[in-house]
Chain A
Amino acid sequence: MNFTDMIILAFSNLWRTKLRTLLTTLGVVIGIGALTSMVSFGTGMQKNVTDAFKNNDLFTSITVTSKKVNLDEIATGNVGQMAEALKSEGKPLTDSVLEAIRAIPGVELAYPNLEFAARIKLLGDSASLNVAAMPGAIRQYKPFNDLLAGAFFTSDTSRSVVIREETLSSRLKIKLLKKGGEVTLTHSDSVTGVKLMHPDSLIGKTISLVTMSVNKSKIPMALLGMMRKNPEMPFDETITEVKICGILKRQGEFGRGVFNGNLIIPLKTAEAIPKLGFSSVWDLLDQKKKEGAYGSIHVRLSDMKRMNEVKKALEEMEVGVFTISDQLAEIKRAFLILDSLLGAIGAIALIVAGLGIINTMVMSILERTREIGIMKAIGGSENEIKMIFFVEAAVIGFIGAIFGLVLGWIVTKIATFVMNTQFLPSGEDPINLFYFPVWLILGAIAFSLLISLAAALYPATRAARIDPVKALRHD
């Protein structure tokens, strides 16, 4: 008996007991639906995170610090390591170090990380936010090479800034009109004074950047004020006028935080603005930072493949090196655990469906005992009888897997729709929480077949062993 004949025979046998076949297959459909929707959630999360990294060119980014800090140790709560790192004398990241880094083959761009807090005023609204300084040369990299409106500044000394779209909506009550997208003001928007604007109309608008700096001459007065219970802070306020030259596209839920700063300002312009000494989060680790040295340096590579080579050169310079790509393996492992957990929950549903298959097959054997006897009497071998039952189970498993995948896909679409319409803050781009990679689709089919075949093992063996003489007498 060839395989095609077995398939035809299996279909005709299953067709005879339509309702039972339908209910058994439905069990598999639900099992596969649960499994795939759960795992696709895990893969979706992973894809969102890795895509965010890729979209921001983070795999070609390195952060150089003055000290060799084992971030993994610190992340796991090793306080001793942290204290040691804080105590140790690091190599000051001076301009000469910066130049040396720029000279490493494979390094395309290196600039000091500089961030500071500021209050900004735009179109009558004000907000406190983080300002990040970057060189104009960063414009060739993602995500700075593809702006929503305007163009990235080219000069490091210009008074132009790039603002994030989400900063406009969340901090400055400005909603942007987009091509093809519908943006409307809700009732609460109108009450809170949200403005609806075209992105291009914001280009060239002036932002007043208010920064604070310590005025050392005011310190004695401040101390005196404290004693009189009428303190006067020893700060000066500086207002710098800058113009918006571009709007950075929304980075999505997972792309946020890949770089700090709501506003991007040219590096030299930022250096010239009086501000508080603290320039970036890396400074926290370097309290003994030398005057004239940078807290950390951001390095961009021409190609991800040169990462190891550049890292090696940097380590030889005895500076601290931190890369996202190092963390990627760790992130992937974490997602693997998440996927496995979600998969295990889904697999339970499929195993229950497997029990359904066993039940159906055993019932079928009881009903078809005489038929099995007949098949044996006319020459059916044990293997062929066994195969007939295996193929019947595989047909249930395969059809169940296909419709299960469809069900899983529908469930994820509904979940995504509900999530995006009910829970996502207005103005945010829709998030796709689920992802069906090819391996998940093929894997689900293979797993369903495997469970079905495993479920058929006992019934099929039992059918094959039936004594034909007794079976022919069976009613």
Chain B
Amino acid sequence: MALIQTIGLAKTYKKGKVDIPALHDVTFEINEGEFFSIVGKSGSGKSTLLNLIGGLDTASAGTIIFDSKDLRKMSRSELANHRRFSVGMIFQSFNLVKSRNALENVELALIFGGVPRNIRRKKATDLLTQVGLGSRLTHTPDELSGGENQRVAIARALANNPKVLLADEPTGNLDSETSGEIIQILRDLNKNHHLTVIMVTHDLETAEIVSDQIIKMKDGKIVDQLTKTEVL
């Protein structure tokens, strides 16, 4: 059975009395351990779709099943739990707390995860070491490069051992070399740690290299769906 399944998913935003459709009839499945990419131009609805899977936003219609649970039926606190334990998110703009150093940013996720204080520091250190930041633990986001910030964000996303890593344009703010490094980390997590990765990107070329499955979106709809064999 698929880890994530969406059926006829739709999202409409209201602006005054006008309805603005962002997603329309989106149906797909993601299996556990897959590297899944959502490709499309700006405004195609790919980030909206990722936010729905991540439980940051709720769908207007359709069904979204995550690990046998219907996200649309979850209460707000259940959704918070979903964001805390089931998924880890990284963003184009990193979204780190600027006043806290790398360790503290990772620890913040562990605090919400209810990890005891005596274990927290060690776990955060280990995670940051894993992403190659063992020597930059006490640096604040302003003192780190873009690539380093994204690594801190990855370490934070992994803090509570999620089932799925959601990456929203993770290389959008990075140069090509650093982008390659970040993609490599995501790939490593997927292949060697069997973490399901869902990546939103406008870069079809990269998506085609790393993904098991790709959906192409335009104006809130899926216009094309490719599996690994088709990608190759």
Interface residues of A (CB under 8 A from B): 1-2, 4-5, 9, 16, 370-371, 373-384, 468-469, 472
Contacts and interface: CB of A to CB of B under 8 A. Distances in A.
Interface in B96-132: 96-97, 99, 108-109, 111-114, 117
Given A379-B81, A380-B80, A374 B99 contact: no
A375 B108 CA distance: 8
Nearest to B113: A379
B73 interface: no
B84 A378 contact: yes
Interface of B is mostly: helix
A4 B54 CA distance: 28
A329 to B, nearest CB: 52
Contacts, number: 64
Contacts of A376: 56, 80, 83
The list of the 10 closest CB pairs from A to B, nearest first, reads A379-B84, A381-B80, A379-B112, A378-B109, A379-B83, A468-B56, A374-B95, A5-B111, A381-B77, A469-B57
A1 B157 CA distance: 17
Contacts of B99: 16
B228 to A, nearest CB: 30
B41 interface: no
Q: Which of A4, A9, A378, A380 has the largest number of chain B CB atoms within 10 A?
A: A378
Nearest to A464: B76
Contacts of A469: 51, 56-57
A381 B56 CA distance: 11
Interface of B: 51, 54, 56-57, 76-77, 80-81, 83-85, 89, 91, 95-97, 99, 108-109, 111-114, 117, 156-157, 159-160
Nearest to B93: A472
Given A5-B111, A468-B56, A469-B57, A383 B95 contact: no
Contacts of B51: 469
Contacts of B76: 381-382
B198 to A, nearest CB: 15
Contacts of A4: 117
A102 B88 CA distance: 89
B22 to A, nearest CB: 11
Contacts of B96: 374
Contacts of B160: 379
A370 to B, nearest CB: 7
Given A376-B56, A378-B156, A1 B77 contact: no
A11 to B, nearest CB: 13
Nearest to B83: A379
Given A374-B96, A469-B56, A469-B57, A383 B84 contact: no
A377 B56 CA distance: 7
6 contacts: A375-B108, A378-B83, A378-B89, A379-B83, A472-B56, A472-B91
Nearest to B91: A472
